[in-house]
Amino acid sequence: MPAAIEFDRVTKRFGLITAVDNVSFSIESGNFFSILGPSGCGKTTLLRLVAGFETPDSGRIFLDGHDVTALPPNQRPVNTVFQNYALFPHLTVRENIAFGLRIAKKDPKLIRSEVDKMLNLIQMEQHADKWPDQISGGQKQRVAIARALINRPRVLLLDEPLSALDLKLRQKMLLELDLIHDEVGITFLYITHDQTEAIGVSDKIAVIHRGRIEQVGKPSELYESPTSSFVAAFIGDTNFLDGRVDVTVAKDYSLLKIDEFPPVLCFNDKQLSVGEGVHLILRPEKLRISRDRPEHHSLHNCLEGTVEDVVYRGDHTKYWVKIEGHRLSVSQQHSRFLLDTQPIQWKDRVFVWWHADDSFILERYNASDEKLSEAPSEKVGGVEEDLLKDIPVSASEPASEG
């Protein structure tokens, strides 16, 4: 079966700006597929290229194996749900949903039957005769989705459809959107800058940065095995430490040298050689924290430091621990808060430790590349500022939060 959508070396420029840069990837039929990235990265341009609202400067776009690069929007088997709903204010909910079928001049009985099905799907039967200004934002979004689905497109394009909703409603609508996808079974292409949204509903995600695809994979693959520092930083909170491979101690494991730290044991699936520069990636929730040194723990990966900030967030507490000039973020989940142990406080001396399998490394530069500049540079958690300037603050949140 051909891919629902395929980008073949697609490039799109706007003047001197390259919005999409030689992009190639495919989306399987029936997938809930998200394109994730910061503002201005090119994700909406990709959606507009699929919809036919933009034409690539080079490359081709396929839908179900057919080259649609030159086809106008009305000849493509896709429909789009926009950020601002775009409902017709002079039509009722029922009439808005029926609009596409009426334009296609379908039989009135068929239109009535299909609209009833859509009203049931989005649970809006009781609101069918209301005007758009009489329903909530979440209800408007459901109507917009139903209107896009009623023509039975091969692909539904969703351009940050939940961005105008408040947090609780956005979470509720995300679940409903996932249920609708499961019900109708067509391909969803979802555009978002919100990693939580993408991870929560997607079969696969493409992370895009500055017009280029950084990585395509399942949510768990992007989170647990990112292939670039950008993906590691953009998907979830992350601690970065710069170091070098010091000793290979066993297959897939190496000791890293990081500034004034004792040797750090790390899983080395990249098979990097001794002396190569690396980024050590530590997720805050994989780290453990306590006032006492843990018993029976390896001599490696156990560091002592001072708590600089504490932020209580209900289901977990975040700590920022200063260790030999580095500032590590640690997340401690609450199971029996205030019952099992006394909470760690600001300025406490603590131990932070982790297992070698809970960290991973990324190559800092290739042997054929020029060495990173020896001049000092401003860094965020150990990674060059230029690399991460588009990434929301994560592990290196300001001290003022505490």
Q: Coil, strand, or helix at residue 237?
A: coil
Q: How far is CA 360 from the centre of its chain?
A: 19
pLDDT at 336: 67
Q: What is the mean pLDDT of each run of 10 residues along the chain (402 residues)?
A: 92 95 96 94 95 96 95 92 85 92 90 91 90 89 88 90 78 85 91 91 95 96 90 90 85 84 84 85 93 76 93 90 92 73 87 90 54 31 42 38 36
pLDDT at 390: 45
Q: Tell me the C-alpha to C-alpha distance, in Å, between residue 104 and each of 27, 86, 116, 298.
A: 28, 19, 18, 69
pLDDT at 297: 60
The neighbouring-strand residues paired with 156 are: 79, 188
Paired tokens of 126: 């009781």
The answer to whether 52 and 73 have CB atoms below 8 angstroms apart is yes
Q: What is the DSSP string of 280-305?
A: EEE-GGG-EEESSPPTT--STTEEEE
Residues in the chain: 402
Taking Cα atoms as reference points, which of 111, 198, 181 lies closest to residue 150? Answer: 111
Taking Cα atoms as reference points, which of 200, 144, 204 lies closest to residue 172? Answer: 200
Q: How far is CA 358 from the centre of its chain?
A: 21
Alpha carbon distance 168, 132 (integer Å) = 21
Third-level CATH fold of 237-401: OB fold (Dihydrolipoamide Acetyltransferase, E2P) (2.40.50)
Residue written as token pair 């194996």 = 65
CATH 3.40.50.300 domain range(s) in the chain: 5-224
Phi, psi (degrees; rounded to nearest 5) at 25? -170, 165
Q: Where are the alpha helices (DSSP H) in 202-332?
A: 219-224, 229-234
What's the number of CA atoms in the CB half-sphere (13 Å) around residue 61?
Answer: 27
- H or E stretch including 173? helix 167-184
Alpha carbon distance 209, 142 (integer Å) = 30
What's the number of CA atoms in the CB half-sphere (13 Å) around residue 131?
Answer: 4
* Burial (CB count within 10 angstroms: exposed 0-12, middle 13-18, buried 19+), residue 1: exposed
pLDDT at 210: 93
Alpha carbon distance 19, 180 (integer Å) = 31
pLDDT at 223: 92
Taking Cα atoms as reference points, which of 217, 168, 212, 164 lies closest to residue 192? Answer: 164
CATH 2.40.50.100 domain range(s) in the chain: 237-401
Paired tokens of 189: 């292409």
Residue written as token pair 């394109």 = 35
The answer to whether 346 and 307 have CB atoms below 8 angstroms apart is yes
- CATH architecture of residue range(s) 5-224: 3-Layer(aba) Sandwich (3.40)
Burial 259-272 (b: 16+ CB within 10 A, else e): eebebbbbebebeb
The answer to whether 396 and 380 have CB atoms below 8 angstroms apart is yes
The answer to whether 356 and 253 have CB atoms below 8 angstroms apart is yes
Other beta carbons within 10 Å of 127: 19
Q: Where are the alpha helices (DSSP H) in 52-166?
A: 93-103, 108-121, 137-149
Query: Which amino acid belongs to residue 31?
Result: N
Phi-psi region of 151 (alpha: psi -120 to 50; beta: other; left: phi over 0): alpha
Alpha carbon distance 259, 241 (integer Å) = 9
